[in-house]
């Protein structure tokens, strides 16, 4: 399980410029921290990927090793761990989150 799960996580992070690992989904979060984090990310107005760690126990078990971050949610942008709920909320309130996410979002062809 472990190596293939870690490879799958790395592939998700690589293939999705903005990915949120959370409990539940943005529309139906399963914990308060995931709810706040997903609302902040959705508030930036860009599309993003998410992974429900509750329905993916292997990912839930292994992701903390990949990012060296023990808790969920986890926001990854352009392959880098941004952080968890508190950091996401702070960045959202300062406007920094929108800048980071806008920069990472794939540009739509005009």
Question: Annotated binding residues for glutathione, as ranges?
Answer: 23, 60, 72, 85-86
Cβ partners under 8 Å of residue 1, min gap 6: 58
Known binding positions for [2Fe-2S] cluster: 31
What token pair was written down for 13?
Answer: 């992070």
Residue carrying the six token digits 């702070």: 90
List the strands of the sheet with 18-22, edge to edge.
Answer: 49-52, 18-22, 74-77, 80-83
Known binding positions: 23, 31, 60, 72, 85-86
CA-to-CA separations, 54 to 15, 21, 78, 101, in angstroms, rounded: 21, 10, 24, 25
Element (DSSP H or E) covering residue 76: strand 74-77
């Amino acid at each position: 399980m472990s190596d293939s799960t870690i490879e799958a996580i790395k592939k998700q992070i690589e293939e999705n410029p903005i990915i949120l690992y959370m409990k539940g989904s943005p529309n139906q979060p399963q914990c308060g921290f995931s709810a706040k984090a997903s609302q902040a990310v959705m508030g930036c107005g860009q599309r993003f990927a998410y992974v429900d760690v509750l329905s993916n126990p292997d990912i839930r078990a292994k992701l903390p090793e990949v990012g060296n971050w023990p808790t969920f949610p986890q926001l990854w942008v352009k392959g880098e761990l941004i952080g968890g709920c508190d950091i996401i909320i702070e960045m959202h309130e300062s406007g920094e989150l929108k800048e980071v996410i806008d920069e990472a979002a794939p540009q739509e062809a005009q």
